[in-house]
Amino acid sequence: MKKILAVLVAGCISTLALAQQDPQFSQNMFNRLYVNPAYAGSNEAICAHLLYRSQWVGFGDGAPKTGVLGVEAPFANNKVGLGLSIASDKNGAFQTFNAKLAGAYKFDVGNGKLGIGVDLGLLQDKVDASGFKPVDPNDASIPANSSGSAFDVGAGLYYNSEKLYVGVSASHLSEPSVTLDNSSIKFERHYYAMIGYSAEVTPMITLKPSIFVKTIAGNTTADINLNAYVNNRFWLGASYRNDDAIVALIGLNITDNLRIGYSYDFTTSNLKKYSDGSHEIMLGYCFKVKKKITPVIRNVRFL
């Protein structure tokens, strides 16, 4: 099966430009910086989140494996946010590296803050020819080892209050293309929308529903999620992704600053015949910076 797929892909890229999509995650509520630069600094803390996803387990060595690290912090009395995202996505013989710097400016709006953000990044694609298993080793259409890079840009809006967040964004605004040895990979423009809410049901239980929508070239997927937090200590949840998967989530706040989460995708598409599902793990850390208070000393003679 893998050999057949490799030959088909190799035959296509010799004559066509491939359309590249951003990697998919199930714990999107912990990965907002990667898709929306306006999110930077919204936690009013120095935060870092690391996610690793092993997709379609059962496909063998060619199955997608993705990791993304996001670090963000507030500046200028929480009016400015800066962030850095680094992602590596390996899919068969193809590997994509993406690094981008995000900047956001915040405005007070009602009970929350509205951020306007942009990110500037570098995309790099690489082909490892050893990942192909052609029927004919001398087939000239099989790509050689090659790599290429391109400049990238994205933008977004993000609003958050104590209980609500809403965001819209777009990545690959310039639709960059990476040229390889005998092919090119085009990054289609991606559009994202997200919304989430926190509702305290009882002093022990808080429900956090969220929706994450991604649109590429007219194709739209939506993740509808509900996480239930118990004593703000651990959470259980479930998501539905149209035409793709049902997801189970679990997580734990190890300390006030450190948390860990895990999700498992039950594949519902036609790939379920070959896939044993997808695993994803998240590790997050946030550190609140204490504001320095300058003491005021008054002389009693002038009171």
Amino acid identity, position 160: N
Where helices occur in the chain by DSSP H, the ranges are 2-13, 32-35
Which range among 8-17, 146-155, 233-242 shows the weakest confidence by mean pLDDT? 8-17
Is the Cα torsion angle 8, 14, 15, 17 positive or negative in sign?
A: positive
Note the pLDDT of residue 8. Answer: 35
| Most confident range, picked from 14-28, 175-189, 194-208, 281-295 | 194-208
Mean pLDDT taken over the chain = 86
Terminal CA-to-CA distance of the chain, rounded, Å? 86
Residue 274 corresponds to which amino acid? Y
Residues 50-104: tens digit of each pLDDT: 999 998 887 767 788 999 999 999 999 999 999 999 999 998 778 899 999 999 9
pLDDT band at 138 (very low <50, low <70, confident <90, very high): low
Of 211, 166, 217, the closest CA to residue 190 belongs to 217
- pLDDT tens for 198-216 read 999 999 999 999 999 999 9
Predicted confidence (pLDDT) per residue in 3-40, tens digit: 334 433 433 433 334 566 889 999 999 999 999 999 99
Lowest mean per-residue pLDDT among 30-39, 119-128, 248-257: 119-128
The confidence score (pLDDT) of residue 142 equals 63
The pLDDT score that the predictor gives to residue 14 is: 36
Q: What confidence tier does 169 reach under pLDDT thresholds 50, 70, 90?
A: very high
Instruction: Give residue 302's pLDDT band: very low, low, confident or very high (50, 70, 90).
Output: very low
Q: What's 135's DSSP letter?
A: S
Tokens of 147: 């790599």
C-alpha 52/C-alpha 70 separation (Å) is 12
Write out the two tokens for 101: 């710097």
Question: Contact 98/34 with Cβ under 8 angstroms?
Answer: no
Dig out the tokens for 223 from the structure: 């993740």
Element (H, E) at 249: strand 245-253
Which superfamily does CATH assign the domain made up of 2-289 to?
monomeric porin ompg (2.40.160.40)
Cα–Cα dist 126/98, whole Å: 12
Sequence-ordered list of residues with C-beta below 8 angstroms from that of 297, at least 6 positions apart, any chain: none
- Name the residue among 183, 187, 131, 176 with its Cα closest to residue 151: 176
- Give the pLDDT band (50/70/90) at residue 183: confident
- Which residue did the predictor score with more confidence, 138 or 91? 91
| Concatenated DSSP letters of 22-54 | PPP-S-GGG-HHHH-GGGTTTTSSEEEEEEEEE
